Structure 1
Amino acid sequence: MDVKKQQKQDRTSERGRFSAKRKKEAVLRLLKGEELDALSRELGVTAAVLSEWREKFLAGAEANLKSREPEAADDEVLRLKAMVGELMMKNELLAEKARLLEGNAPGFPWRKSRG
């Protein structure tokens, strides 16, 4: 086989399908300032494909940053809901104690009516 054909085959098989890791590395190179056209030629993919990878990478990063904020807020909401539930139970118990101490509970012999 001709040497040039072998080199071309090697590059083609090397290009093939890119793993997520290789795509990430290519995108990071773009974000660091490498020329789109030069990287496209080196990797053997079109500039449009590289641009698409970059857009997906950035969209994923943005979505990931957004999803972290609600998680922290959700944890805080759950903590506060638990606190509200606990305070409501304490409030009900205190109201019951107050009612018993005022003598409004019938059938308690230690609290006699004055008559």
Structure 2
Amino acid sequence: MSSNKQSVPGASEGARRATSEAPGTGRRGKGRWSAKRKMAVVLEFLRGEDLESLSRKYAVTAATLSDWRDAFLASGEAGLKIREDDLVDEQGRRMKSVIAELAMTVELQRERIQQLENANPSLKWRSKR
């Protein structure tokens, strides 16, 4: 007879809990870091946490942490610039929309005046010269 072992889903999670390790800290510096995790570490760094202690705490090199910080700050600066540009673009779009609406109103009024003048020739506009 052969005995087939089946893995129990969630077994590794239970083992991690049994060792009293927090679910988010099991991987420490190994594997891929999500953007959210990187951001949390960078924010700790920016709030004044020592670079060396963070490096030891998360098992990540100081150079990597510095790179993450630089990328985070560059992205933040770019985000602020985009918002200013978007604000200017949005104001321009609104102004163009208002101008287009006013131009359409003027054109419709001119057409209506022309229709009224054609219907009653005595209403034709006369110059004050």
Asked if the contact 2:39–2:72 (Cα under 8 Å) also holds between the matched residues in 1, the reply is yes
- Whether 1:87 aligns to 2:97 is no
How far did 1:30 drift? 0.9
Q: TM-score, normalised by structure 2?
A: 0.61
- Structure 1 residue 61 corresponds to structure 2 residue 76: yes
Alignment of 1:65-76 (within 5 A): 65-76=80-91
Q: Report the Cα distance in structure 2 between the residues aligned to 1:50 and 1:109, rounded to whole angstroms.
A: 80
**Cα displacement string for residues 51-95 of structure 1 (whole angstroms, at most 9, x for unaligned residues):** 000011111111112222222222222211111112212333444
* Same amino acid, percent of matched pairs: 43
Which structure would you say has the larger RCO, counting Cα contacts within 8 Å and 6 or more residues apart?
1
Partner in structure 1 of residue 92 of structure 2: 77
Q: 1:57 to 1:109 in 2, by over 3 A?
A: closer
Runs of 5+ in structure 1 lacking a partner?
Answer: 1-10
Quote the residue 2:21 is aligned against.
Answer: none
Structure 2: 5+ residue stretches without partners? 1-24, 123-129
**Could you tell me how far 1:100 is from its partner in structure 2?**
6.7
Residue 94 and residue 109 in structure 1: after superposition, are their counterparts in 2 closer, same or farther (change >3 A)? closer
